[in-house]
Amino acid sequence: MLFYIFKRLLTMIPLLAGITLISFTVIHLAPGKPTDLALDLNPAVTAEVKARMEKLYGLDKPVHVQYWTWLKRLAVMDFGRSFAPDGRPVADKILERLPITITINVLSLALILAVALPLGIASATRPHSLFDQTTTVFVFVGFATPTFWLALLCMILFGVELGWLPISGLTSYNYDQLPALGKLLDRVRHLILPVLLSAFGGLAGMSRYMRANMSEVIRQDYITTARAKGLKERVVIYKHALRNALMPVITLLGLSLPGLIGGSVIFESIFAIPGLGQLFYQGVMSRDYPLVMGGLVIGAVLTLLGNLLADVSYALVDPRIRVQ
Amino acid sequence: MPAGTLAQETWRRFKRNRLALAGGVVVVFLFVISFLAPIVSPHDPNQFHLRRVLEQPSAGHPLGTDELGRDVLARMIYGARISLKVGFVAVGIATLIGMVLGALAGYYSGWVDAFIMRLVDIMLCFPAFFLILAVIALLEPSIWNIMIVIGLTSWMGVARLVRAEFMTLKGREFVSSARVLGASDLRIIFRHLLPNAMAPVLVSATLGVAGAILTESALSFLGIGVQPPTPSWGNILTAGKDNIEVAWWLSVFPGLAILVTVLAYNLLGEGLREALDPRLRE
């Protein structure tokens, strides 16, 4: 197992190099030096900031030296300072926003699993039934629904028309005056719509995937054997079949990470949630290059780590992977 | 199996799938609307009417007016053009890159394959939306930049598909015989192998159009896509968000248009997949 993890870590090295190389290329896409454009367009960029930027990328040196300088700084989480008036280190800004985004994504992943898995199992065990067909329609419509639009509709319905749920921020304006339980409730109420909606995007895909896994597993011989020896259908499905059908889900969870992180840009700007996505969006809008680059690298590295975690968990549950 | 060309056979099987057919009809309808926009549009999409701001749907303005008094239906008809253009150009770019890289990886194997597949892995690590936003932040938001960036960030699926097809096909006899007859690598790749790998590419491109339309609308909605006054379904929705408490029609109709369009391309793509799958052929 340790050998497997080690091997897996080794394969991450070229990926990391590639991620940083592509990010570095992206910075240099800007016409002229990144500092020129920023200086022209952003009044917050003073000569001092420009000097800092030039030092960060070593812009007077050859490109490969610049890349190396930048890499060495990345290795110690030094993404430079933000162009925003506060001029704080990008790493600090990102780290303080990260917990909110991770919380929302973990909650919505949990919700996706809680809904999509039973849905997929139920469809697979009753193929072509009315239930299965309804779920299939739901899946197709779910795939096609722009989630930011659904978010708007939910804001109109639950926020404006019915007034049941708050539609922006993480806390109400009177948060500080609330008792402890009220504070918790207030936070929960603010999280309901963002979590529901960011889960919606993955729901369709996951239930479809689970249905496919499950229908493949229940066609296998060992399931027929289990039935033949007189086990109850419930035991056959939920004990024998489910274990094998669940394994590929781990990989899909890892693969769905970039989508979730990318989607946080949309949800956090719609619901005014101060997370990584909103920070990144603001950085893009104000052309805060160090922030944008930091966000890009962190987003990709998070995905890489997520995939590693998924692969290692897969190897833990499936001995065949370890042996190969 | 009845006699007939592959296209005839595919069409015969495709038209039995009612949902896919419906998807196809919607796609054709959108094409017609886009080409005839100046004729079918009831109003000029950019005509301001400051006295008719945010009017509810009525006989004169079937889908209401926006915050500048422009007709929403007219803007949506012109918006269909944008979706179509972005969908096809972005997917065209992605498909071209994916086919070339996938073909090279699958045909040559070895280090070429290893290099291209690592590139695929790396690209898949980036949250696509982050990468697109970052590039748009450095260049400027315009419809061309968006199409190029969406294309450059969505070729990986096609590359994997083509590579897989090439790996199974290149050991077949028809490839060996072509080689014995003295065909060059390029000729084998483009004349003999690629045509055989086209079916899954076509399916993935159809589904890709749906994805590109969704991405464009999300970008435009966030204000980093198609820039006003050019109408796009996404940027009408931005106005919908800004006027969320007073004008539901600005939010409902463009979103519905996106949903129906994306659904149509997805159904069409799935229908093609089934019709083209030789395993399902009787």
Of B123, B240, B260, the CB nearest to A152: B240
ipTM attached to this prediction: 0.82
A140/B263 CB distance under 8 A: yes
**Residues ≥6 apart with Cβ < 8 Å to B240:** A152, B247, B250, B251, B252, B254, B255
- pLDDT at position A133, please? 85
**Closest-approach residue (CA) in chain A for B127:** A258
Query: Sign (positive/negative) of CA torsion A119, A120, A124, A127?
Result: positive
What was the pLDDT predicted at A246? 84
- A289 contacts on B by Cβ (under 8 Å): 137-138
pLDDT band with cut points at 50, 70 and 90 for residue B18: confident
For the CA atoms of B231, B233, B236, B242, the dihedral, rounded to the nearest 10 degrees, stands at -150
B112, pLDDT greater than 90 = yes
- Give contacts of A287 with chain B, Cβ < 8 Å: 137-138
pLDDT band for position A30 (50/70/90)? low
Closest CA relative to residue B147, chosen from B229, B75, B253, B232: B232
pLDDT at B3: 53
Does residue B1 surpass a pLDDT of 50? no
Look at B237 and A19 and tell me if their CB atoms are within 8 Å: no
Q: Distance (Å, rounded) from C-alpha A267 to C-alpha B222?
A: 10
- A92-106, A109-123, A284-298, B80-94: range with lowest mean pLDDT: A284-298
pLDDT of residue A323: 62
**Shortest distance, CA A47 to any CA of chain B (angstroms):** 20
Q: Which of A28, A284, A293, A301 would you mutate first to test chain B, the one with the most B CBs within 10 A?
A: A284
Q: What is the pLDDT of residue B72?
A: 86
The Cα A257–Cα B129 span in angstroms is: 12
Nearest CB neighbour to B259, from listed A146, A257, A296: A146
CA distance B141 to chain A (A): 11
The pLDDT score that the predictor gives to residue A56 is 66
C-alpha–C-alpha distance, residues A10 and A21, integer Å:
18
Smallest Cβ–Cβ distance between B241 and the set A146, A150, A152 belongs to A152
Contact A149 B118 (CB under 8 A): no
Predicted pLDDT at A57: 64
Given this model, what pLDDT does residue B257 score?
A: 93
- Nearest alpha-carbon partner for B129 in A273, A259, A127, A190: A259
Is residue A36 over pLDDT 70? Answer: no
Position A140 confidence tier, pLDDT thresholds 50, 70, 90: confident
Instruction: Write down the pTM of the prediction.
Output: 0.85
Nearest to B133 among A140, A145, A280 (CB): A280
Contact residues on chain A for B138, CB-CB shorter than 8 A: 26-27, 29-30, 34, 37, 287, 289, 292
Among chain B residues, the shortest Cα distance to A287 is held by B137
- Of the pLDDT bands very low, low, confident and very high (cuts 50, 70, 90), residue A115 is very high
Average pLDDT, chain A: 82
pLDDT of residue A59: 65
In angstroms, what separates the C-alpha of B5 from chain A's closest C-alpha? 31
Per residue in B176-235, pLDDT (tens digit) is 898 889 888 889 998 888 888 888 899 999 999 999 999 999 999 988 888 888 899 998
For residue B98, pLDDT beyond 90: yes
Q: Of B102 and B270, which is predicted with more confidence?
A: B102
| Better pLDDT: A102 or B69 | A102
Compute the count of residue pairs across chains A and B with CB atoms less than 8 Å apart. 144
With cut-offs at 50, 70 and 90, classify the pLDDT of residue A127: confident
pLDDT score, position B94: 96
Q: Is the pLDDT of residue A321 over 50?
A: yes
pLDDT of residue A42: 58
Whole-number Å distance between alpha carbons of B253 and B212? 19
Kindly give, in sequence order, each residue whose CB lies less than 8 Å from that of residue B9, ignoring residues fewer than 6 positions away.
B1, B2, B281
Q: What's the pLDDT tens digit per position in B29-68? A: 999 999 988 888 878 888 787 777 777 888 778 888 887 8
Which DSSP letter does residue A286 get?
T
Q: Do B138 and A34 touch (CB under 8 A)?
A: yes
Interface test with B, best of A29, A98, A152 (most B CBs within 10 A): A152
Residues of B in contact with A143 (CB under 8 A): 262-263, 266
pLDDT for B28 equals 94
Answer yes or no: are the C-beta atoms of B265 and B211 closer than 8 Å: no
CA distances from A142 to A135, A150, A207, B37, B167 (A): 10, 10, 11, 29, 34
Model confidence band, residue B255 (pLDDT cutoffs 50, 70, 90): very high
- pLDDT of B24 reads 92
The arithmetic mean of pLDDT across residues B157-181, rounded, is: 90
| Model pLDDT for residues A148-171, shown as the tens digit of each residue | 899 888 888 888 778 787 777 777
The answer to whether the Cα torsion of B201, B203, B209, B212 is positive or negative is negative
pLDDT of residue A39 exceeding 80:
no
A324, pLDDT greater than 70: no
More confident residue, B159 or A184: B159
